[in-house]
Amino acid sequence: MLFKDISIIDENLNIKNNMYVGVAEGKIEYVGEEKPQKNYGEEYDGRKKLLSPGFVNLHTHSPMTLLRGYAENLPLDRWLNDRVFPFEDQLNCDRAYYGTMLSIAEMLSSGTTSFTDMYFFGDGVMKAVIESGAKTNFGRSIVSFADEDIFKNDRFREGVYLTEKYHNTENGRIKIDMSLHAEYTNMPSIIQQFGEYTRGRGQINHIHLSETKSEHDACKEKYGKTPARLFYDAGIMDSPAIFAHCVWVEDSDIDLFVEKGATVAHCPASNLKLGSGVCNTYKLLEKGVNIGIGTDSAASNNGLDIMREMYLAAILPKGMCNRADIVTPRDVFKMATINGYKAQGRADCGVIKEGFKADLIVMNLNTPNMYPDFDIFNNIIYSADKSNVILTMVDGKVLYKNGEFMTVDVEKIGYEVSRLVRQVKSEVKGND
Amino acid sequence: MLFKDISIIDENLNIKNNMYVGVAEGKIEYVGEEKPQKNYGEEYDGRKKLLSPGFVNLHTHSPMTLLRGYAENLPLDRWLNDRVFPFEDQLNCDRAYYGTMLSIAEMLSSGTTSFTDMYFFGDGVMKAVIESGAKTNFGRSIVSFADEDIFKNDRFREGVYLTEKYHNTENGRIKIDMSLHAEYTNMPSIIQQFGEYTRGRGQINHIHLSETKSEHDACKEKYGKTPARLFYDAGIMDSPAIFAHCVWVEDSDIDLFVEKGATVAHCPASNLKLGSGVCNTYKLLEKGVNIGIGTDSAASNNGLDIMREMYLAAILPKGMCNRADIVTPRDVFKMATINGYKAQGRADCGVIKEGFKADLIVMNLNTPNMYPDFDIFNNIIYSADKSNVILTMVDGKVLYKNGEFMTVDVEKIGYEVSRLVRQVKSEVKGND
């Protein structure tokens, strides 16, 4: 495929107009001002359009889209215990598959080309990822309140099983991360063993961290240290690590992230909606932490729209710090592209440059919200929304174009999801 | 036009399925479960769609869309003085017309059926409003640093002229408000005379209030009272009043709003983006203040997407107050519909009920982000976005449908806006 006469965002985050970008075998093969000699077959008319690296949703739980709107107006602990957990008890791989397909459709339509997922029913999620062509890092999260040998823990074993079966398959499109759900859902001995097991393996550790004040404070009470310090001491940051939320992290925690190169997955909408608070990304940015952006699940957002999330990531710190000059559109764009891919262990993604993977989106610049065009970057972050995304390509394959999905039958998925959630609801009621 | 087999939001904010809604002569003539006898001509297939009252954007400056992306990363005072004012010095009625047309297109495409505007070049704005079919309350804002007779002030006189020429024209579609820009941009004698002039006339007073901390504190320093108290004492709240922003209002100010029935136009995005702060709408709601929602201008938002604004209005207070149970989707929906219309003096709008004006939108429920449908209200506020809006009708006329604008030539407007902002930019440079 050849994108012609198109504006692009180059590797230095500058806009170049009237460019040609050739894609072959999943990669960007040509970027230039001249039309290439080679015949790429399909040509895409790029006038009044922008070619951008696709976005990374760095923290979500894709099957949980089944719970969209099911648990509302509740704080995190009651949201989890009273509503989410009983519903999840009724899920299985088949149901998780449908939830994930629905999530993938929503993410593709809003410009997400890769997402980092933490959940269970890995085979169901993997089935959806393989079928849909989505790019995914998946971690099976461990929850254990038993002082047990981690190798006897089913969830840990599932993570090992998924790694053997799926890690780096589909030409690297799928990666399996290792995942602890959180400090407050695991015994210290599990955390210790998790750190020992993962050290040196090169897989990514994906963990919830200091999402709520009560959770953060309770950890300090229990262990005399913050959750971040606890994970650091257990060697968990010796592997590449993604910590989701980090609303209540302290200065000394941030220093640990910097020392070890850990990434923060910032989830502004979920943190607001559940009443958890606001992560101080300005401070993280100043200290040099790698920040990515996540939607969290549709059960607490309630969408998977990375563009809405980028907007929040851009305007929230300004309001919180009463400073209009902090966290620029380019900062936010980096979070959602290069930083996210880096955290996923995908150094060959996120930049429009020869040799990089063709994870690309096209934005329509010819809509009322994109005029005038003083600064395209401002417009992308502050004015554009998912309706500007008119094409989404992963590994060189077009998966979404002009409202149509090439690999997801949304009519069928919508029908099946409606059917199965009614069934789950009646089962949950039966268990009350 | 007859909407058939459609879900609707009724006057009690309940969802009713498989309904028929007949529209004739600008009004809702029939609402019922049975197909009406009368032949309405065009029939609209409403399956998997929702008919909702359209939304009110209660505070914007529509010609300022010309400045989208022109003044970035600056706090309010520098944003205004260094960038906005010099640009605005080069505007005229013709240029304001194009900016307003662009704004109207963006607002229609995101479900706004009525907006309250505060700006100048009233004839240019009115030309766009008349042509496009948009519903508008427009106020010519007064700025005066002279201790003068208000009747000698050109801006005040323009407000009087606009009132005589346009107020309640186009079958009531256009209303002219009276407007003071703000406390900090007017002499006390002007504020006093404005209160005296407007008292008892029945027009709406539209004013910026306590947007920034510095402005609020400076007023107290100068006059020994808050801006709200100053306006109260000048009799400005004796008329129906809309106060935009109110980020820094105090408890005693809120009591004045309650006593006089004044409305707060909450503009969460602009307040965040300019680093002004966050209005405590939870407190306002608890005390019983009428709250509407505004985008402010595209120069400080940078969009005019009322659905994005509703989302912010729903999740921000939860994060600020660390409480997930406050400001419900129904609260926010009311702000953007009934409350907004009430503040505009339009008691016959904002409800799907026989006899009300047909200011309606249709939302597509058959998109990935709208499944499952545990609670349609949750989905509208937390999951839907402007891409779900597929039809916008004002006074019974379809102005937007499936991406097409019936009254705005967006190709032409986009071209003209691009051309004229380049010209303005060169003129501003020439003046430096």
Whichever domain contains B105, its CATH number is 3.20.20.140
Looking at residue A162, the DSSP 8-state letter turns out to be: H
Give a yes or no: residue B290 inside a domain: yes
Residue percentage of chain A with pLDDT more than 70: 99
pLDDT digits (tens, 9 = 90+) for B268-292: 999 999 999 999 999 999 999 999 9
Please report the pLDDT score of residue B73 as a whole number: 82
Between A357 and B80, residue with greater pLDDT: A357
Q: What does the pLDDT read at residue B75? A: 75
Facing residue for B418 by CB, picked from A76, A371, A386: A371
Asked if A68's CB is within 8 angstroms of B379's CB, the reply is yes
Please check whether residues B302 and B378 belong to one and the same domain. Answer: no
**B87 lies in some domain:** yes
Note the pLDDT tens digit of each residue in A413-432.
999 999 999 999 999 876 55
Q: Is A101 at the interface with chain B, CB within 8 A?
A: no
- Average pLDDT over chain B reads 96
Q: Is the pLDDT of residue B432 over 60?
A: no
Shared-domain flag, residues A363 and A296: no
pLDDT of residue A431: 57
Chain B residue with CA closest to A268: the answer is: B319
How many angstroms separate the CA atoms of B303 and B60, rounded? 11
- Evaluate if residue B111 carries a pLDDT over 90: yes
Q: Do B231 and B333 belong together in one domain?
A: yes
Nearest-CB residue to A324 (from B74, B328, B387) = B74
Shared domain check, A371 and A332: no
A272/A365 same-domain check? no
Tokens representing B281 are 């709408």
- The pLDDT > 90 percentage for chain A reads 95
- Report the pLDDT value the prediction gives residue B41, as an integer from 0 to 100: 92
Give the separation between CA A397 and CA A381, rounded to whole angstroms: 25
pLDDT tens for residues B184-229?
999 999 999 999 999 999 999 999 999 999 999 999 999 999 999 9
CB–CB contact A302 B410 (8 Å): no
pLDDT of amino acid B77: 79
Q: What pLDDT is recorded for position A430?
A: 65
Over residues A356-383, the pLDDT tens digits come to 999 999 999 999 999 999 989 999 999 9
**Residue B102 sits at the chain A interface (C-beta within 8 Å):** yes
CB B387 within 8 A of CB B367: yes
Is the link from the previous residue into A302 a cis peptide, with omega within 30 of 0? yes
Which residues 266-295 of A are in CB contact (within 8 Å) with B?
Answer: 269, 271-278
- Nearest residue to A308 (alpha-carbon basis) of A387, A245, A385: A385
**A274 Cβ contact list (under 8 Å, min separation 6):** A74, A75, A76, A79, A212, A300, B318, B324
Q: Is A383 on the interface with B (CB under 8 A)?
A: yes
Q: Regarding beta strands B135-142 and B174-180, do their DSSP bridges make them parallel or antiparallel, or are they unpaired?
A: parallel
User: What is the domain range of residue A394?
Assistant: 2-53+355-401
Note whether A387 contacts B: Cβ–Cβ < 8 A: yes
Closest CA to A229 of A247, A205, A250: A250
Could you tell me if B313 and B329 are in contact, meaning their C-beta atoms sit under 8 angstroms apart? no
* Whole-number pLDDT of residue B431: 58
Measured between beta carbons, the chain B residues lying within 8 angstroms of A386 are: 385, 387
Chain B contact set for A74 (CB, 8 A): 324-325
Are the Cβ atoms of B324 and A79 closer than 8 angstroms? yes
Q: Are residues A17 and A59 in the same domain?
A: no
Say if the Cβ atoms of B322 and A276 lie within 8 Å: yes
Residues A373 and A280 reside in one and the same domain? no
Q: Tell me if B75 and A366 make a contact (CB, 8 A cut-off).
A: no
What's the total number of domains in chain A? 2
Same domain, A7 and A145: no
In b/e form, how buried is each residue of B283-301, taking b as 16+ CB within 10 angstroms? ebbeeebbbbbbbbbbbbb
pLDDT less than 70: residues of chain A = 430-432
Distance of CA B190 to the CA centre of its chain: 25
Q: What is the mean pLDDT of residues B61-67?
A: 97
- The pLDDT, as a whole number, for residue A112 is 98
Q: Please tell me the distance in Å from B72's CA to the nearest CA on chain A.
A: 8
Residue B182 lies in a domain: yes
Q: How confident is the model at residue B430 (pLDDT cuts 50, 70, 90)?
A: low
* Residues A428/A86, Cβ–Cβ less than 8 Å: yes
pLDDT reported for residue A326: 95
Same domain as B253, residue B215: yes
**Above 70 in pLDDT, residue B142?**
yes
Contact residues, A window 28-87, toward B, CB-based 8 Å cutoff: 65-66, 68-70, 72-76, 79
Give the model confidence (pLDDT) of A169-203 as tens digits: 999 999 999 999 999 999 999 999 999 999 999 99
Pairing of strands B2-9, B49-53: parallel
Asked if residue B336 belongs to a domain, the reply is yes
Q: How many CB pairs under 8 A join A and B?
A: 205
Sorting pLDDT into bands at 50, 70 and 90, what band is B167? Answer: very high
From A326's Cα to the closest Cα of chain B, the distance in A is 7
Q: What is the pLDDT of residue B79?
A: 83
pLDDT at A401 (0 to 100): 98
